[in-house]
């Protein structure tokens, strides 16, 4: 039986794989267990592009923050932020503007604890535990309201998290509530596990989705049109639209990366 290290908060079950730890392992981080590593190795076996996709998603996150910073955004609310690893949002945002403020939110207590310990001494970045399916508990959380000024534009980052929100949780209504809390000129960043259009690719993805059924956060795949519908009428989806994450303003050094049609990304501006 796996021994719980002292960095695991009470109540965390380390005998079932968890999205945050699986992704941390995929990106080469340090906070995962045997079940998470086994899950990822099986997922890679089923979907050989999975590793490229995880890195491409993280690169998309970094590019979107730099793009937003260049557009004048200084406040970020990162929901489903994950376990801190390479290229964390506050590092990228505060490199662009040392005054930038970042609020992290994750459902996973390990992600929250690790973020808290990393952010000690950084007055402009904080973390809370929260559930995207209950957006009001995030948007009106005292720590969020203390750090972020919603009278000014805020970028809400929801990167590689919507596929953990099933249709029964009404994701479009969640986005609409987020939009209601934002002033015009705010942004929403989305990335999502999307369908491969080849029959073999669809089969691979269906198998990976099945694997996630045995985790606390089962996964749902959505097409580009479904992701656009999820973003809804409160936001304008900016060019180049809902696209493969690798096609969203790729950096010249990423130009040789293999395309990852299974990971969709978009940046939208609040109307």
Ligand X SMILES: C[S@@+](CC[C@H](N)C(=O)[O-])C[C@H]1O[C@@H](n2cnc3c(N)ncnc32)[C@H](O)[C@@H]1O
- Which among 185, 101, 105 has a CA at the least distance from the CA of 149? 101
Asked if 262 touches ligand X (CB under 6 A), the answer is: no
Instruction: Tell me the window of 19-27, 44-52, 69-77, 142-150 that interacts with ligand X (CB under 6 A).
Output: 19-27
Helices (H) and strands (E) counted in the chain, each on its own, are 10, 8
Instruction: Tell me the window of 33-41, 101-109, 114-122, 176-184 that interacts with ligand X (CB under 6 A).
Output: 101-109
Residues 40-59 that bind ligand X (CB under 6 A): 57-58
Helix-strand-coil split of the chain, %, nearest 5: 45, 15, 40
| Cα distance from N-terminal residue to C-terminal residue, the chain | 52
- Which among 10, 8, 62, 57 has a CA at the least distance from the CA of 36? 8
Asked if 135 touches ligand X (CB under 6 A), the answer is: no
Out of 20, 65, 144, 188, point to the residue binding ligand X (CB under 6 A): 20
CB of 264 to ligand X, least distance (A): 13
CB of 148 to ligand X, least distance (A): 17
Compute φ and ψ for 127, nearest 5 degrees. -140, 145
CB of 228 to ligand X, least distance (A): 19
CB of 199 to ligand X, least distance (A): 26
Out of 56, 73, 111, 112, point to the residue binding ligand X (CB under 6 A): 111
Residue of closest CB approach to ligand X: 82
Out of 112, 132, 139, 188, point to the residue binding ligand X (CB under 6 A): 132
Compute φ and ψ for 119, nearest 5 degrees. -90, -5
Asked if 82 touches ligand X (CB under 6 A), the answer is: yes
Out of 56, 107, 125, 244, point to the residue binding ligand X (CB under 6 A): 107
Asked if 188 touches ligand X (CB under 6 A), the answer is: no
Binding mask 61-80 for ligand X (x = CB under 6 A): x-----------------xx
244 to 53, 74, 105: CA distances (angstroms): 10, 26, 25
Going by their DSSP bridges, the two strands 187-193 and 155-159 should be labelled as parallel
How far apart CA 127 and CA 250 sit, in angstroms, is 29
Asked if 161 touches ligand X (CB under 6 A), the answer is: yes
Asked if 217 touches ligand X (CB under 6 A), the answer is: yes
Q: What is the DSSP string of 10-53?
A: TT--TTS--HHHHHHHHTT-S---HHHHHHHHHHHHH-TTHHHH
Residues that bind ligand X (CB under 6 A): 19-20, 23, 57-58, 61, 79-82, 106-108, 111, 131-133, 159-161, 164-165, 217
């Amino acid at each position: 039986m796996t021994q719980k290290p002292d960095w695991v908060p009470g109540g965390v079950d380390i005998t079932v794989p968890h999205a945050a730890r699986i992704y941390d392992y995929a990106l080469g981080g340090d906070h995962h267990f045997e079940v998470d590593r086994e899950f990822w190795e099986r997922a890679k076996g089923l979907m050989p592009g999975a590793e490229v996709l995880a890195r491409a998603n993280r690169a998309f996150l970094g590019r979107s923050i730099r793009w937003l910073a260049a557009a004048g955004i200084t406040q970020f609310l990162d929901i489903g932020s994950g376990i801190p690893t390479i290229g964390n949002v506050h590092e990228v945002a505060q490199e662009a503007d040392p005054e930038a403020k970042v609020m992290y939110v994750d459902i996973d207590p390990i992600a929250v604890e690790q973020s808290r310990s990393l952010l000690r001494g950084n007055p402009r970045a904080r973390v809370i535990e929260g559930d995207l399916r209950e957006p009001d508990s995030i948007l009106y959380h005292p720590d969020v309201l203390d750090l972020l000024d919603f009278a000014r534009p805020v970028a809400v980052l929801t990167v590689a998290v919507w596929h953990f929100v099933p249709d029964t949780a009404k994701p479009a209504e969640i986005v609409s509530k987020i939009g209601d809390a934002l002033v015009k000129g705010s942004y929403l960043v989305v990335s999502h596990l999307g369908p491969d259009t080849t029959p073999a690719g669809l089969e691979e993805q269906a198998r990976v989705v099945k694997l996630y059924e045995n985790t606390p956060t089962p996964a749902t795949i959505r097409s580009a049109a479904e992701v656009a519908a999820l973003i809804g009428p409160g936001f304008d989806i900016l060019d180049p639209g809902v696209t493969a994450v690798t096609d969203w303003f790729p950096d010249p050094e990423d130009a040789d990366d293999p395309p990852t049609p299974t990971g969709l990304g978009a940046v939208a501006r609040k109307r």
